[in-house]
Amino acid sequence: MSNKELIIAERSRDIGDFLVGRLLPFRKKRMVGPFIFIDHMGPSMMGPGKYLDVDQHPHIGLSTLTYLLEGEIVHRDSIGTEQRIRPGSVNWMTAGSGVTHTERMPDALRDGRTFRMHGYQIWVALPKEKEMMEPSFHHIAADELPSWQEGGTLFRIIAGEGFGHRSPVPVHSELFMVEVIADEEVTLDVGKDLKGEIGVCIVNGRVEANGESVEKGNMLVSKSTDVCKLKVNAGSHLLLFGGEPFPEERFIHWNFGASSKERLEEAKQLWKDKAFPKVPGDDTYVPLP
């Protein structure tokens, strides 16, 4: 990383039967590029009496990115989408002016078996001029994502652009999210390959930056743009993410993101009034906190 980097540890948060590790936002670093929210889900065992079931809830002003390492989720939204996501594929929902959705375990997995659930829920803020765009949803299969091997290291472009490759995920600003799986020890100097602010989420293993060892469950953020040099230990799994920061501040309340507090207040009132679009056939409702 740079000469001085910020290390952010996961803060555990209970969401019913599921424990997540919150990485962003953090009090000393609210965003990394356009990335405004990152939750690490699991790894956790699912089975009878313990499933991931998130009822109908709203979003505005951002895109959500779901990336699973283990397990499956069915996404349904007010646009009419129903999409089952499996490990390695990407669900990308742009909320824009407003959307509601649910996330639940598939019925096919509710047959008495137990299985592991592990993945990341990520929010990417929209540029100010696109905050009120029409909602949309895209699913990109794992084999559509650019990936390649360099020695004992696998690289995969999940979203955005990096290393001369571009993901088919239809992002709305200059950003990147790259998966790195190192079977052997490797030194990464990625400043020339990734543009903007750079964050490193350590899914597994360990990295060394400026002589300091950082274990899984932590995130590093370079305090200088376009600068990131890491020694990655064998058996490590990383997510690199970031991009160009926006010129304006972003505000967040519950599931809403916006460049103005007034827009947040409007969305809060709409949700209280149950005036958001609904997921077809779903009457669940998560109250505004």
CA atoms of 147 and 219, how far apart (whole Å): 23
Examine the pLDDT at 227 and tell me if it is beyond 80: no
Cβ neighbour number for residue 242 with a 10 Å cutoff: 29
Tell me, what's the pLDDT at 197? 86
User: Where is average pLDDT lowest: 88-97, 138-147, 216-225, 260-269?
Assistant: 216-225
Q: pLDDT class for 3, splitting at 50, 70, 90?
A: very low
Tell me, what's the pLDDT at 208? 85
Flag whether 145 is in a domain: yes
CA atoms of 63 and 135, how far apart (whole Å): 9
Residue 70, φ and ψ in degrees, nearest 5: -150, 150
- The set of residues, in sequence order, having a beta carbon less than 8 Å from that of 199 and lying 6+ positions away, is 32, 33, 35, 219, 220, 221, 222, 240, 241, 242
Q: The pTM is what?
A: 0.90
Examine the pLDDT at 231 and tell me if it is beyond 50: yes
Q: pLDDT class for 74, splitting at 50, 70, 90?
A: very high
CA atoms of 255 and 57, how far apart (whole Å): 8
Examine the pLDDT at 255 and tell me if it is beyond 70: yes
DSSP per-residue codes, 222-279 = ESSTT--EEEE-TTEEEEEEEEPPPSS--EEETTEEESSHHHHHHHHHHHHTT-S---
Flag whether 248 is in a domain: no
> Hey, what amino acid is at 159?
A
- The set of residues, in sequence order, having a beta carbon less than 8 Å from that of 245 and lying 6+ positions away, is 31, 33, 34, 196, 197
Flag whether 26 is in a domain: yes
Q: pLDDT class for 83, splitting at 50, 70, 90?
A: very high
How many domains, in total, are found in the chain? 1
- Each residue's pLDDT tens digit, 149-198: 999 999 999 999 999 999 999 999 999 999 999 999 999 988 789 999 88
Flag whether 278 is in a domain: no
* Full domain range(s) for residue 109: 5-243
In this structure, the strands spanning 18-24 and 35-46 are antiparallel
- The residue with greater pLDDT, 288 or 230, is 288
Tell me, what's the pLDDT at 224? 62
Q: What angle do CA 238, 239, 242 make, to 5 degrees?
A: 140
Flag whether 252 is in a domain: no
Judge contact between 253 and 62, C-beta under 8 A: no
Examine the pLDDT at 10 and tell me if it is beyond 80: no
Flag whether 164 is in a domain: yes
Q: Taking all residues of the chain, what is their mean pLDDT, rounded to a whole number? A: 88
Give the CATH number of the domain where residue 222 resides: 2.60.120.10
CA atoms of 254 and 269, how far apart (whole Å): 13
Q: pLDDT class for 2, splitting at 50, 70, 90?
A: very low
Q: Give the burial string for 198-207 (b: 16+ CB within 10 Å, else e).
A: bbbbbbbbbb
> Which SS3 state, helix, strand or coil, does residue 129 take?
helix
- Give me the helices (H) in the chain, please: 261-272
Examine the pLDDT at 40 and tell me if it is beyond 90: no
Flag whether 250 is in a domain: no
